[in-house]
A = this chain, B = another copy of it.
Amino acid sequence: MIRRPSQPRERGIPEATVARLPLYLRALNGMAERGLATVSSEDLAAAAGVNSAKLRKDLSHLGSYGTRGVGYDVEYLIYQISRELGLTQDWAVAIVGVGNLGRALANYGGFVSRGFRVAALLDADPEVVGDHIAGLNVEHIDELETVIRLRGVSIVVLATPAAAAQQVADRVVAAGVTSILNFAPVVLSVPEGVDIRKVDLSIELQILAFHEQRKMDRMTGGPAMADEWPEAVDL
């Protein structure tokens, strides 16, 4: 039961740290490919685009895996982060909604590589059901519960239209899935204990537009004085 370098910390890694670990992992994989054996917090932080103190504090939550005066062993750190993130096992992912976006995701090789495996494609449209995409057969949404159970799906990617998303999410949760990645522009309501992450293109664009507008205002000296409600309205 003796552990060589040092124990990993008591459970409880800050959420902000968890969100950065994949970034470190990606940078480390690049370094491993280029044959680097060790890396300093300074260099790794630069590659990941973060402050080096932050990087060290993040890693310290996993355990004391560095060597003072030297840095971190690249392969060892890759292993530790992978283990912490749960990438040493394979996760079966189902994609629900095989339209424009669902197809792009299914064809995307990038996430199959690391720990994730697309185990099913599901759609409600009879036109789409039966299509072959990226070596998979698109199945009917009626099969949802069966597929989840039999193939051990633990993560569902939602790429249906917004109107169908909540309804599909309810079924998915009822079938026992507790992790959902949602691309539909709706606020899903799910029970306690179910993790939802959302990717929302239009929100990202709106945030960019906000800053873009600020930059333009700064150029022209203040907003173009359009503060009034355009039509005369009585509140």
Contact residues in B for A85 (Cβ distance below 8 Å): 206, 209-210, 213
Contact residues in B for A116 (Cβ distance below 8 Å): 202, 205, 209
Residue-wise interface mask of A (96-122) relative to B, using a CB-CB cutoff of 8 A (1 in contact, 0 not): 000011011101101100111000000
Contact B201–A199 (Cβ < 8 Å): yes
Contact residues in B for A91 (Cβ distance below 8 Å): 205, 209, 212
Contact A19–B154 (Cβ < 8 Å): no
A167: Cβ under 8 A from any B Cβ: no
Contact B187–A197 (Cβ < 8 Å): no
Contact A187–B49 (Cβ < 8 Å): yes
- Chain B residue with Cβ nearest A225: B1
Contact B195–A86 (Cβ < 8 Å): no
Q: How large is the interface on A (under 10, 10 to 19, 20 to 34, 35 or more residues)?
A: 35 or more
Contact B197–A207 (Cβ < 8 Å): yes
Contact residues in B for A185 (Cβ distance below 8 Å): 26, 110
Contact A202–B110 (Cβ < 8 Å): yes
A197 interface neighbour in B193, B208, B235, Cβ under 8 Å: B208
Contact B86–A212 (Cβ < 8 Å): yes
Q: Which of A58-110 contact B (CB under 8 A)?
A: 67, 73, 75-76, 79, 83-89, 91, 93, 100-101, 103-105, 107-108, 110
Contact residues in B for A221 (Cβ distance below 8 Å): none
Can you spell out 25 A-B residue pairs with CB atoms less than 8 angstroms apart?
A3-B227, A4-B228, A5-B235, A22-B202, A23-B203, A27-B187, A79-B229, A84-B210, A85-B209, A86-B210, A86-B213, A87-B206, A87-B209, A91-B209, A91-B212, A93-B205, A111-B202, A114-B206, A116-B205, A155-B205, A155-B208, A179-B208, A179-B212, A181-B205, A199-B201
